Amino acid sequence: MEEKKTCDTRGDAGCSAEKQKKDESREEYADRRRLDATLCRIQKKIVVLSGKGGVGKSTVAVNLATALALNGLRVGLLDVDIHGPSVPTMLGLENETLKGGPEGLFPVEFGGLKIMSLGFLLQNPDDAVIWRGPMKMGVIKQFLTDVQWGDLDYLIVDAPPGTGDEPLSICQLIQPLDGAVIVTTPQKVAAIDVRKSISFCRRLAVPVLGVIENMSGFVCPKCGEVTQILPTGGGKKIAEDMEVNFLGAIPMDPAIAQSGDTGKVFIYHSSKTTTGKIMQDIINQITDDLDKTKKLNS
């Protein structure tokens, strides 16, 4: 009996899923076809990385995904920050649970976004995820192969911090990745890790779309003036040194912290503020850059 095909390579001989590799078992090949079948339907895939936790990576991922969805694009947001899945809280979706069918799991749909997060699978938000490496890798893979993402214009991936096994598997599984956005805070101790993130992307041939320096200065909630209360510029300097794009500096803004806690996405509710305009400008640069790269390659 002929094996059921899960990936229609449309007879494209260039498609990596068309043939079983020599060193691949039937099971591995079937898995790869399923993964390719998902990824083939997603136009652009962006990963948001950071060297450390707590620098605003999820904030950037949520706002970027929301801004794209507000422009009428079909957007998926995949939260694979396994040890700190904050995306459900940031979108006010803590009480959502996942539904599944014979074809797999359905992402939670909200305001034009399709969202998948480990947070939806934890029974209690206080639960700690204590998994060994292979289990984490298995979940990351399942989030891509067993979730019905459908046709998407963009998939934004909120990766775990650092340059360890988990971000590595994400970058290896999601092929090709259109680019990485690296988030840091301005302090030297955090910004130094940006170098590692940039080198990580270079080694994996993931284009760096740029560096964002978050929590850079403080924006007055009354007049919108930005004051540099602490040293700034660490992220910008490293971006320049390593010849990658510096996308901009987002100030510390009480409204961002509040939006994250209350599930009211900042870019939706505060796009006209000083910080909202800075964030929108950063998002525009990311999408313009991707469009340019696409034109160059087509």
Q: Which strand (E) or helix (H) includes residue 20?
A: none
Candidate segments 4-12, 35-43, 139-147, 249-257, binder of ligand ADP by CB under 6 A: 249-257
Binding to ligand ADP by residue 279, rule CB under 6 A? Answer: no
List the structure tokens of 73.
């694009």
Q: Which of 169, 214, 232, 285 binds ligand ADP (CB under 6 A)?
A: 214
Q: Which of 79, 193, 253, 289 binds ligand ADP (CB under 6 A)?
A: 253
List the structure tokens of 119.
């947070």
Q: Which of 137, 180, 250, 267 binds ligand ADP (CB under 6 A)?
A: 250
Positive/negative CA dihedral, 260, 212, 186, 206? positive
Q: Which strand (E) or helix (H) includes residue 169?
A: helix 165-173
Q: How many residues does the chain have?
A: 298
Candidate segments 39-47, 57-65, 146-154, 199-207, binder of ligand ADP by CB under 6 A: 57-65
Of the candidates 239, 219, 249, the residue with the CA atom closest to the CA atom of residue 56? 249
Q: Which of 50, 63, 232, 270 binds ligand ADP (CB under 6 A)?
A: 50
Positive/negative CA dihedral, 65, 70, 75, 78? positive
Helix (H, G, I), strand (E, B) or coil at 11: coil
Binding to ligand ADP by residue 129, rule CB under 6 A? Answer: no
- 145/184 with CB nearer ligand ADP: 184
**Binding interface with ligand ADP (CB under 6 A):** 50, 53-59, 84, 86, 214-215, 250, 252-253, 256-257, 260
